Structure 1
Amino acid sequence: MLSSVFDSIRKFMPPIHREGYPFIAIAFVAALLLMLLWEPLGWVGLILTVYVTYFFRDPIRVVPTDERLVLSPADGLVTAVDLAVPPPELNMGVEPRRRISIFLSVFNVHVNRVPVGGTIARVVYTPGKFLNADLDKASVDNERNSLVIDSTYAQVAVVQIAGLIARRIVCWVGEGDVALPGSRFGLIRFGSRLDVYIPVESTTQVAVGQTAVGGETVLAQLVGGYSQTVFRSE
């Protein structure tokens, strides 16, 4: 009976990323202490514990492996498809590139995924402000962590941008690492934005207002036409 209950919970709740374990434990202990002080506060604490657990979910994704495709690095809302100069620390020049921005609310999955497979050529952390990540100037003013990826077809950059609530950017890859498309590379706590910079000749496949799914939604195509795409579970 108990095993069937746990099986039902596993089906309802996706896997939790290990980055969340300390926060879940702290929230749970705090809820127990609040329960001892005053039961209604304890229930509020338990609700917050459930939310923290939900925030750190890390669902399995089915990733297209075509190296010409640029995948969404995160779950969220497409807030910009435009031309912009990449952040100066990336050393990608001053010519505008095509930029696609994904805004993550506090209810989105916050595990970040590599938009294209390739070698991590550069990882640069830049301290900054904590403005609303939905603002355009957040790309320049906010705390951020930037990756440049040398893929088979082009050089692509992805920038993790801290938001108004976010106070911690986590990156698990380093320069010289080889990453598969759609593989996990980082996380931002809590609420944030990711910008992807691609060549101007790339063909975009999303529009402002569209909801993207990290590791699955195709943001753009770098070169050539589509062939039969192979998928993998990630």
Structure 2
Amino acid sequence: MDLAPGTWRLATPLFLAAVPATVVALPAGLALLALGAATLWFHRDPPRPTGDGVVSPADGTVSVVRTEEGRIRVGVFMSPLSVHVNRAPLAGRIRRVERVPGAYRPAFSKDSDRNERVRLESDDWTLVLIAGWFARRIHPYVSAGDDVTPGERVGHISYGSRADVLMPPDVERDHLTVAEGDDVRAGETLARRPD
């Protein structure tokens, strides 16, 4: 099983602590083992095929579809059961990577627009990785100047939250292939660009 970078750094202390904890109190040791295994599973990074057009940056449920300043935003809420490795929605050159401090509200709430986030901006699309109330570690894999391909891994959010795509200007609502409430997987098509 492939894992997001840094996963073993999070899981190893749990496994190491489980050994003496098991000697002292078996339930505590088993709980630590379960937490270590859950950490590995939570940070899994399976291969994914890539669709055509604008693809989903994450596994989860479409929680936001709205127009902002003439452009469409599609947000994908990642549950604790989702894969949390994030992918590029389109090809492009990353022009800017910006970490924006903020609150830690639940990622499915409207207040999450003020949460801590990392913005990955290209020439015609933006991917926003948003932390939630528990997820406070956003790990971008790319830097300004990097070229990315559709579906390429660009970061992960440890323990959750939301990934929003601000679509290119030529994408309109009738180009979307998803609606709020739809379940999606990273790499699946969210919208088709006009020919």
Whether these two folds match at TM > 0.5 is: yes
Deviations 1:2-55 (A, max 9, x none): xxxxxxxxxxxx322232011111111121121121112111111111111101
Return the match for 1:32 from 11, 15, 19.
19
The 4+ residue runs of structure 1 with deviation greater than 3 A are none
Deviations 1:55-108 (A, max 9, x none): 1100011123x4xx1000011111121212xxxxxxxxxx23101010011221
1:55 is aligned with what amino acid? F
Task: Give the aligned length.
Answer: 192
Paired residue secondary structure (1:116)? coil
Structure 2 length as normaliser, TM-score?
0.93
TM-score (norm 1): 0.78
Among 66, 71, 90, which residue is 1:97 paired with? 71
- Matched to 1:111, the amino acid is V
Unaligned 5+ segments in structure 2 are none
| Residue in 2 that maps onto 1:78 | 62
2:193 is aligned with 1:222: yes
1:95-128 CA-partner distances (Å, limit 9, x unpaired): 2310101001122111110000110112111000
Q: Which residue in the other structure is 1:147 paired with?
A: 120
> Which segments of 5 or more consecutive residues in structure 1 lack a partner in the other structure?
1-13, 85-94, 225-234
- Larger Rg belongs to: 1
User: How large is the RMSD of aligned CA atoms in angstroms?
Assistant: 1.3
> Is 2:170–2:194's contact at 8 Å kept on the other side of the alignment?
no
Cα shift at 1:223: 1.8
Tell me if structure 2 keeps the 8 A contact 1:146–1:157. yes
Distance between the aligned counterparts of 1:15 and 1:189, measured in 2?
15
For residues 152-174 of structure 1, what are the alpha-carbon distances to aligned partners after superposition, in whole Å with 9 as ceiling and x for unaligned?
xxx01110000011111111111
Is residue 19–residue 56 contact of structure 1 (8 Å, CA) maintained in 2? no
Task: Tell me, in whole angstroms, the C-alpha distance in 2 between the residues paired with 1:200 and 1:209.
Answer: 24
